[in-house]
Chain A
């Protein structure tokens, strides 16, 4: 296990390994997304109360779930980079940040679009949406901080510190926003937390969540590969690979 992690820290090894992974993960992701979306859009029955607009759940919830998980991935990579000074972890953290930010934005936009037919307005300050908005700010903060620093090694460490602090805060933020919302709303209409979600709706949702996780992984790997190719363009191992191709 440790040898594996150690090997991953070596750019040529990681590049080769990630290449193999991406080769099958990318098509798999596309297939899962297509099947999941089709299932959710075409096969699953409409919701009793919301009709067909609920089908947005199949993109809103996976995006939201993976956006949140992605922050933890980013922070974990940052921690590894900070504690063990593994450069590859830096690259992972930087690769994950924009992906997480995009998915958070997608979750917010789809949430707003879903809100219109459900509650009549484009924006509602409900607990989940508000927490998502704060998560977006947290992501954007990390990206902005990296861009602002001149020394990029220091930049990576700064982002690691920031995302770690953010990680500790996220449960507190989510909980406090939850309480805030339930205090000000007499009957909290949960967007998605139907305690008895029918299996015909649950399975496509789970599939889409898996699809989005794969999407996150593959995009992060692709980002990392692009960065590695540029950062190591003078390196012997990469020169060799290009010649062979």
Chain B
């Protein structure tokens, strides 16, 4: 562990702003980039399931009659 304390880690001998800004501007887009398709797939999945339930209930209505 190169740094002695958390404050030292934050300051990085004066370069803290740049280092942490760069890391934030990397990991935030990366996180969004990974999250978006996961969310999209889940939404599509739920949509298919909802369509199935709808189709099933229509089917049930028809057979009841």
Asked whether any CB of A lies within 8 Å of a CB of B in the complex, the reply is yes
Binding site for B on A (CB under 8 A): 26, 33, 37, 41-46, 51-53, 55-56, 59-60, 63, 98-99, 102, 105-106, 109-110, 113-114, 116-117, 215, 218-219, 222-223, 225-226, 229-230, 233, 238-239, 242-243, 245
Q: Are B45 and A52 in contact (CB under 8 A)?
A: no
* Residue numbers in A under 8 Å from B16 (CB-CB): 52
In the complex, chain A residues whose CB is within 8 Å of the CB of B29: 102, 105-106
The contact string, 1 if C-beta is below 8 Å from chain A, for chain B 11-28, is 011111011011101110
Interface residues of chain A: helix, strand, loop or mixed (majority): helix
Given contacts A110-B26, A226-B41, A242-B49, contact A52 B15 (CB under 8 A): yes
Q: What's the minimum C-beta distance from A10 to chain B, rounded to whole angstroms?
A: 19
Q: Is the CB of A219 within 8 A of B41?
A: no
Smallest CB separation, B53 vs chain A (Å): 10
Which of B13, B27, B37, B51 contacts A46 (CB under 8 A)? B13
Chain B neighbourhood of A42, CB < 8 A: 1-3, 9
Question: Considering only CB atoms, which chain B residue lies closest to A220 in the complex?
Answer: B37
Q: Is A45's CB under 8 angstroms from B2's CB?
A: yes
User: Are B48 and A219 in contact, with the CB atoms below 8 A?
Assistant: no
Kindly report which residue of chain A lies nearest to residue B49, judged by CB atoms: A242
Which of the listed residues A215, A218, A242 has the most CB atoms from chain B within 10 Å of its own CB?
A242
**Size category, B interface:** 20 to 34
Chain A residues within an 8 Å CB radius of B51? 233
What B residues does A45 contact at CB under 8 A?
Answer: 2
Question: Residue B62 at the A interface, CB < 8 A?
Answer: no
Q: How far is the CA of A216 from the CA of B44 in the complex (A)?
A: 23
Judge if B33 is at the interface, Cβ distance under 8 Å.
yes
Q: How far is the CB of B27 from chain A (nearest CB, A)?
A: 8
CB-based contact B19/A226 at 8 Å: no
Q: Indicate if the CB atoms of B2 and A46 lie closer than 8 Å.
A: yes
User: Given that A59-B23, A110-B25, A233-B48 are known contacts, is A117 also in contact with B41, CB under 8 Å in the complex?
Assistant: no
Min Cβ gap A56→B in Å is 5
Q: Which residues of B contact A222 (CB under 8 A)?
A: 34, 37-38, 41
Cα(A46)–Cα(B3), bound, Å: 10
Q: Which 3 pairs of residues, A with B, have the shortest CB-CB distance?
A: A52-B12, A222-B37, A53-B15
Q: 5 A–B contact pairs at CB < 8 A?
A: A26-B34, A33-B27, A52-B13, A56-B22, A114-B18
